[in-house]
Structure 1
Amino acid sequence: MRLVLEDGEPRLRHSPPPPLAGEPAVLIEVELAGLCRSDLKEVAGTRYGPSQFGHELVGTVRESTARDLPEGTRVVLDPNVVVDRGSGFADRMRVAGPAQLLRRALPVVPGGTDARRLVFAEPLACARHCLSAVERRLGGLAGARIAVLGAGTAGLLIACLARLAGAEAVLANRGAERLAAVRAAGLLDGPVVAYGDLADARADAAVVATSFVVPEVLRHALRAVVPGGLVMLYGGTAPGDALPGLDCDLDAVRRTEGLAAARWHGRPVRVAGSYGTTPHDFAAAVSVLTDPSAPLAAERTVTREVTLGRLHTLLRDRGTALPPGKILVRPAPPP
């Protein structure tokens, strides 16, 4: 059983996955999947770029023709590595490709950690990659003042990692409901405020971690940084995206992870981008999630679990108008 997008509609299919024939391949039994904002964008037809539908998951290899991924191996998925795969919204998912790519696409994770925590490995790897880019541009994070705009899963994880790295992090959002949900989760040891309450020209860097880099949020980020400060683009962009008054190709900067010098209302500013992940990001994310002394309990952000058989109904009826917090998808009802 799997959920697929056909003509923009989520549909449940009951056909078995293709056999493990030809190039190296594995059949993964999916333990748990996470619903990502990019999945919602794909359903709505507003996401630019190749499909990554159903990419936040943790599962176990049940069949394998890949030497480095024997049966019994527990894995997560790096959707930025191009292999032949189905949706992670499934009870079983086939993944095939050259052996080296297959191993990169399926980072190995510990067997003893709760799936409700490990399912955050991919979003945390993305957050770590973004924060590493900020660290590289600033020359360090310890003592740096970081404003993160957008209090969804990505923004919250970026802010948490910034705090763990010794930065002074503040998380901001427009909607009061999401701010309340973040405070209730108790995951971030730091201020959580509305956009309008961000101080002017105080942050060394501002990360735009909303679903899309929209003008309203970008303006808040630009006013929040000091002269010469860094604005890091993490949220989604599309070709041609620009902000009047800021001489910068937003989509090109983000997708190439570039750095552009610009001016905003006469003040110098640097605009940079974060896109994708590396194997080191996944290793670091799993390390943080499983640290025996102080793990990042990302599962505190979970507000709802649904079965795979009901996911298509949820997406069809609610679309992108879903409540704040992480929604997890189980292939079958929990025992």
Structure 2
Amino acid sequence: MCVELTPAGPRLSHAPPRRPDTSDAVLVSPSLVGICRSDLKEIGGRRPGPSQFGHELVGVVTRSSTPMLPAGSRVCLDPNVPLRRGTGFARRMWAGGEAGALVRALPPAPDGIGERRLVFAEPLACAAHCLTMTRRHRGSPDLRGVSVCVLGAGIAGVLIARLAETAGARALIVNRDTDRLDFLAARRLLPGSGGARLSSAPGGHDVVVVATSFVLPPLLERALSLVRRDGLVMLYGGTAAGDRLPGLDCDLDRVRRAEQVRSTSWRDSPVLVGGSYGTTRDDFEHALRTLSGAPDGLGVERLITEEVSLPELPATLHRLTTERSFGKVLMRP
């Protein structure tokens, strides 16, 4: 049983998963799967590129053609490694490809960590990668003492801000409305510098990360007003081919997807615009170390607001695409 993404939307299917016609393949039984905003973008037809539907998962390998991933292995999933796989919104998921690619795509999950924490491995790896690229674009080995302002109080924004704090940064989360900030405050998830409304947030930050679902022009303009002279604006949220902001000499989509950094200016003030896209093996290792070693795993389990079954998932996905929601919703097959 699985939930497939069809032209008519998510649908429950009872068809058995088919093994890919690849040199090697493993069968994974997901134990817990998170619903990502990219899943919702796919449902709405607003996410270009290869499908990653159902990728925030932790599961167990039940069949394998390679000794590099033996049956019984507990794994997460890196959806940025090219594989032929089914959706993770399933009771069983085949993944096929060259053995080395399978190993890279299915990093081992450490023992002793609960699945409700491990299911955050992939989004936390994305946050780790964003901060890795932030260091690289700034030409600095660390973030100690750096003022980091994160636009967007969703899951990505929270993880970026809290992970930046562990690296010694001073982090502030900024959001257009206060309801998400209130949600985070009630769950003790705001960073030490707290949260602020977008319209009244203080400026002068070394780094401003645009971690909203999409890098919309008004949000990017506000980010450019919040960063200090010669500071860095990081593009983390979604972009599309050809995206530009009038008055800013920068191809936004190219910078983000190619992880470039561009020296330009905004209203006669010099600024760097950099991109972050995808993850690496090092990012997953960083995320897993943080989940196992940081106090309370950065508090990620406090982000969970709901857990649904596989048969309930199509209706839940429809609701999440049509209603405003907070926190992380999980699916247990």
Shared fold (TM-score greater than 0.5)?
yes
Alignment partners' CA distance in 2, 1:278 and 1:317: 32
Alignment partners' CA distance in 2, 1:49 and 1:288: 30
Is the partner of 2:311 in helix, strand or coil? Answer: helix
1:124-168: CA deviation from partner (whole Å, max 9, x where unpaired): 000000011112223130000000001110010000011110001
Residue number in structure 2 paired with 1:199: 202
Alignment partners' CA distance in 2, 1:303 and 1:13: 26
Q: Which moved more, 1:29-38 or 1:183-192?
A: 183-192
- Could you tell me which amino acid in structure 2 is paired with residue 72 of structure 1? G
Cα 1:325–1:239 shift into 2, 3 Å: same
Q: Which moved more, 1:27-36 or 1:287-296?
A: 287-296
Residue number in structure 1 paired with 2:258: 256
Aligned residues of 1:8 and 1:42 also touching (Cα < 8 A): no
Instruction: Give the CA deviation at 1:45.
Output: 0.7
Alignment partners' CA distance in 1, 2:262 and 2:320: 38
Aligned residues of 1:54 and 1:89 also touching (Cα < 8 A): yes
Alignment partners' CA distance in 2, 1:293 and 1:104: 27
- Could you tell me which amino acid in structure 1 is paired with residue 195 of structure 2? V
Match of 1:214 among 205, 216, 231: 216
Aligned residues of 1:20 and 1:26 also touching (Cα < 8 A): no
Cα 1:250–1:292 shift into 2, 3 Å: closer
Instruction: Give the CA deviation at 1:294.
Output: 5.7
- Does residue 105 in structure 1 map to residue 105 in structure 2? yes
Alignment partners' CA distance in 2, 1:267 and 1:25: 53
- Could you tell me which amino acid in structure 2 is paired with residue 40 of structure 1? L
Match of 2:147 among 145, 148, 157: 145
- Could you tell me which amino acid in structure 1 is paired with residue 284 of structure 2? F
Residue number in structure 2 paired with 1:4: 4
User: CA RMSD, aligned part only?
Assistant: 1.4
Instruction: Give the CA deviation at 1:187.
Output: 2.4
Residue number in structure 2 paired with 1:24: 24
Aligned residues of 1:149 and 1:208 also touching (Cα < 8 A): yes
Residue number in structure 1 paired with 2:190: 188
Residue number in structure 2 paired with 1:157: 159
Alignment partners' CA distance in 2, 1:71 and 1:297: 31
Alignment partners' CA distance in 2, 1:179 and 1:294: 20
Alignment partners' CA distance in 1, 2:317 and 2:274: 33
- Does residue 310 in structure 1 map to residue 312 in structure 2? yes
Cα 1:8–1:205 shift into 2, 3 Å: farther
Alignment partners' CA distance in 2, 1:294 and 1:192: 21
Is the partner of 1:296 in helix, strand or coil? Answer: helix
Instruction: Give the CA deviation at 1:169.
Output: 0.6
Is the partner of 2:90 in helix, strand or coil? Answer: coil
Is the partner of 1:288 in helix, strand or coil? Answer: helix
Aligned residues of 1:20 and 1:65 also touching (Cα < 8 A): no
Alignment partners' CA distance in 1, 2:324 and 2:96: 33
Q: How many residues align?
A: 330
Cα 1:8–1:281 shift into 2, 3 Å: farther
Q: Which moved more, 1:303-312 or 1:183-192?
A: 183-192
Alignment partners' CA distance in 2, 1:189 and 1:318: 26
Aligned residues of 2:58 and 2:74 also touching (Cα < 8 A): yes
Residue number in structure 2 paired with 1:295: 297
Aligned residues of 1:8 and 1:45 also touching (Cα < 8 A): no
Cα 1:250–1:180 shift into 2, 3 Å: same
Aligned residues of 2:22 and 2:97 also touching (Cα < 8 A): no
1:104-141: CA deviation from partner (whole Å, max 9, x where unpaired): 01000123211000000000000000011112223130
Residue number in structure 1 paired with 2:242: 240
- Could you tell me which amino acid in structure 1 is paired with residue 146 of structure 2? A
Aligned residues of 1:30 and 1:91 also touching (Cα < 8 A): yes
Aligned residues of 2:19 and 2:95 also touching (Cα < 8 A): no
Match of 1:323 among 309, 321, 325: 325
Is the partner of 2:52 in helix, strand or coil? Answer: coil
Aligned residues of 1:41 and 1:320 also touching (Cα < 8 A): no
1:12-52: CA deviation from partner (whole Å, max 9, x where unpaired): 10111114765211111110000000000000111122111
Residue number in structure 1 paired with 2:75: 75
Cα 1:250–1:8 shift into 2, 3 Å: farther
Instruction: Give the CA deviation at 1:215.
Output: 1.0
Cα 1:178–1:299 shift into 2, 3 Å: same
Q: Which moved more, 1:316-325 or 1:156-165?
A: 316-325
- Could you tell me which amino acid in structure 2 is paired with residue 78 of structure 1? D
Residue number in structure 2 paired with 1:126: 126
- Could you tell me which amino acid in structure 1 is paired with residue 197 of structure 2? A
Is the partner of 2:104 in helix, strand or coil? Answer: helix
Aligned residues of 1:20 and 1:64 also touching (Cα < 8 A): no
Instruction: Give the CA deviation at 1:320.
Output: 4.4
Aligned residues of 1:172 and 1:198 also touching (Cα < 8 A): yes
Is the partner of 1:285 in helix, strand or coil? Answer: helix
Alignment partners' CA distance in 1, 2:55 and 2:49: 14
